[in-house]
Chain A
């Protein structure tokens, strides 16, 4: 017993499982942060050009939305003089896919502390959902919590910084249209390796075809229709029940 002091001491220089997960969260999300910068700048410019909103309210709303497409649609509505109901309804339509992401992520949140279950879903968005579900090493609640907070927090900080830059510098920034491809490129990077399995190919193919067919729908509703269509084969397959 007398000699086990050193053996029982934890070396603080060696990262623990949660620390390692947090580092993975940051490193996974950094390319994503870079990819969303052009979109964030577009939102910042839209805020700067909408006199009804202003910079401070715009940054606060950006932190609250944490969802670029819905925020951009809302800014456009506010600029056109729309009221609360129009913004609320449009946001609900554009962001309805977050219901599905939340349902899919719920097992990761089930065994978490209450503060995390109530506050951390704020970081649920396409990119965080995609990177978190692409990893198979987040089984323990501690590791998922550390990963989720690090990835979501890093993305949020980068997102707000880029929006703020857009508000301040947007009108004088050069136009770089090719950067608009950054967002789909991130999803390709996450999706294509998954297509090695047949289980992923079927929902992806159905969702892509239906999303294209429904792309005429307003407010990004066709995207939601595509996602739901991609789930139908599994819903009709009794072997997928769990």
Chain B
């Protein structure tokens, strides 16, 4: 019973966080300077997620070296092609290659 209630609580708080600034307190009522900063949320969040993966070795990858190689290769492919699938495949291939070599 407790595990089910705990997971329901987790689901409920996640939903409240999602709707908080959409329905409960619409973000267009926030101060103008805060709304001006919201354009930066995307780049900031994505860069923070990537950096966190580098520090933690990309999760199951383990060492940061293969992850760093993956970031370099994937970034170059993304810069040249702006293609999501090509970026993902090349990045994973680079990580797998460096892991096999190390």
CA distance A53 to B2 in the complex (A): 10
Answer whether residue B65 sits at the interface, using C-beta atoms and an 8 A cutoff. no
Bound together, the chains give a CA A133 to CA B4 distance in angstroms of 35
CA distance A91 to B17 in the complex (A): 10
Interface residues in A94-124 (C-beta closer than 8 Å to B): 95-107, 109-110, 117-118, 121-122, 124
If A188-B71, A189-B78, A231-B37 touch, whether A208 touches B48 (CB-CB below 8 Å) is yes
Q: For residue B91, give the distance in angstroms from its CB to the closest CB of chain A.
A: 4
Residues of B within 8 A of A77 (CB): 6
Q: B85 — which chain A residues lie within 8 A by C-beta?
A: 31
Question: Does the CB pair A91–B14 fall under 8 Å?
Answer: yes
Tell me which residues across on chain B come within 8 A of A156, comparing CB atoms.
Answer: none
Q: Which residue of chain A is the closest to B10 with respect to CB atoms?
A: A91
Interface size on A, residues (CB 8 A): 106
| CB-contacts of B7-22 with A (<8 A) | 7-15, 17-22
Q: Are A95 and B59 within 8 A (Cβ)?
A: no
Asked if B71 and A184 make an inter-chain contact with CB atoms under 8 angstroms apart, the answer reads yes
The reply to whether the CB of B5 lies closer than 8 angstroms to some CB of chain A is yes
Cβ B54 vs Cβ A212 within 8 A: yes
Chain B nearest CB from A205 CB (Å) reads 7
* Complex Cα gap A21–B20 (Å): 26
Q: Using Cβ atoms and an 8 Å threshold, which residues of chain B touch A91?
A: 9-10, 13-14
Contacts of B71 in A (CB 8 A): 184, 188
Distance, CA A31 to CA B5, complexed state (A):
34
By a CB distance below 8 angstroms, the chain B residues around A87 are 6-7, 9-10
**Chain A's nearest CB lies how many Å from the CB of B1?**
10
In the complex, the answer to whether A182 meets B46 with C-beta atoms within 8 Å is: no
Question: What are 28 pairs between A and B in contact, CB < 8 Å?
Answer: A31-B84, A61-B11, A64-B7, A84-B2, A88-B13, A100-B38, A104-B41, A177-B61, A177-B62, A181-B53, A184-B50, A188-B75, A188-B87, A190-B84, A194-B43, A200-B40, A203-B43, A207-B51, A208-B48, A211-B55, A212-B51, A212-B52, A220-B52, A222-B52, A234-B37, A240-B36, A241-B33, A241-B36
Partner-A contacts on B (CB < 8 A): 2-15, 17-23, 26-28, 30, 32-56, 58-62, 66-67, 70-71, 74-75, 78-79, 82-85, 87-88, 91-92, 95-96, 99
Give residues in A with beta carbon < 8 Å to B: 28, 31-32, 34-35, 38-39, 42, 52-53, 57, 61, 64-67, 70-71, 74, 77-78, 82-84, 86-88, 90-92, 95-107, 109-110, 117-118, 121-122, 124, 126, 129-130, 133-134, 175, 177-195, 199-212, 215, 220, 222-223, 226-227, 229-231, 233-235, 237-238, 240-242
11 new A-B contacts at CB < 8 Å, known A91-B9, A180-B95, A181-B61: A57-B3, A70-B10, A121-B23, A181-B53, A185-B70, A188-B50, A189-B87, A202-B40, A204-B47, A207-B47, A212-B55
